[in-house]
Amino acid sequence: MGNPSVWNSSILLYRPFLWLLFWVNLLGTIYGYIWYESQLIYTSENFDFWLLVFVPDSPTASLFFTLALLYLLFPPKSASRLVAGGRVMIEALAVVCSVKYGIWAVAMIVAGAWQGDQLEWTHYMLMASHLGMAFEALLYFRYMKAGLIALLIGAGWLLLNDTIDYSYSVFPWLADELEDDIPAVRAFTYGLSIFSFVAALLVWRFRKKV
């Protein structure tokens, strides 16, 4: 039968498969920014311009993962600290952001439906794609270079994003049924940031033993 871990690696790092993932994530990222178009326009017209970067959470997470896939497809030959530092930060952000916002989006859709929001086919598509975001990030983290320091910085970015979102009310628009649950959503969001860091940390610890 062979070594299962070797077999898994040969499939996951198979270049045509990596290219497929790259294009799926790139197209999903573009779709995600289009999805946020209305909120981006609203934010630009009603809030300070610098807050725009904190609006499109999920597509920015998938953008980081798309860039991280490029490092697997084209491993940098340069050993400079700048190149290495850029890589580990993108990889750390790809993992913690994808896990967090992948789970967050699904939780918000389910919570809205629980309180009466009518689900459409787009909701099911979004749940499937966002669960895929979280799963692929943890699955591929074992092949990345990011370590503890980069993960801590990534977690810091998540907590900063949470603080900006709920201090300036630029968090992703919610179903109407959840508008009276903002304090609970905020607490869940902060907790999910910590969870995402811990999940990535556990994968990192496992990776160090392989």
**What Å distances lie between residue 203 and 4, 30, 139, 207, 209, CA to CA?**
18, 28, 9, 6, 10
If one counts the domains in the chain, the total is: 1
pLDDT digit string (tens) for 32-69?
999 999 999 999 999 999 999 999 999 999 999 999 99
Identify the pLDDT of residue 140. 95
Supply the DSSP symbol for 171: S
Does 74 map to a domain? Answer: yes
Domain that holds residue 199: 16-209
Does 91 map to a domain? Answer: yes
pLDDT per residue of the chain (210 residues) written in tens, 0 to 9: 444 454 467 788 999 999 999 999 999 999 999 999 999 999 999 999 999 999 999 999 999 999 999 999 998 887 788 888 899 999 999 999 999 999 999 999 999 999 988 899 999 999 999 999 999 999 999 999 999 999 999 999 999 999 999 999 999 999 999 999 999 999 999 999 999 999 999 999 887 544
Does 50 map to a domain? Answer: yes
Identify the pLDDT of residue 78. 72
**What Å distances lie between residue 112 and 173, 174, 180, CA to CA?**
12, 8, 11
Q: pTM of this prediction?
A: 0.91
Distance, CA of 207 to CA of 201 (rounded, Å): 10
Identify the pLDDT of residue 82. 85
Among residues 131, 156, 146, 128, which one has the least CA distance to residue 203? 146
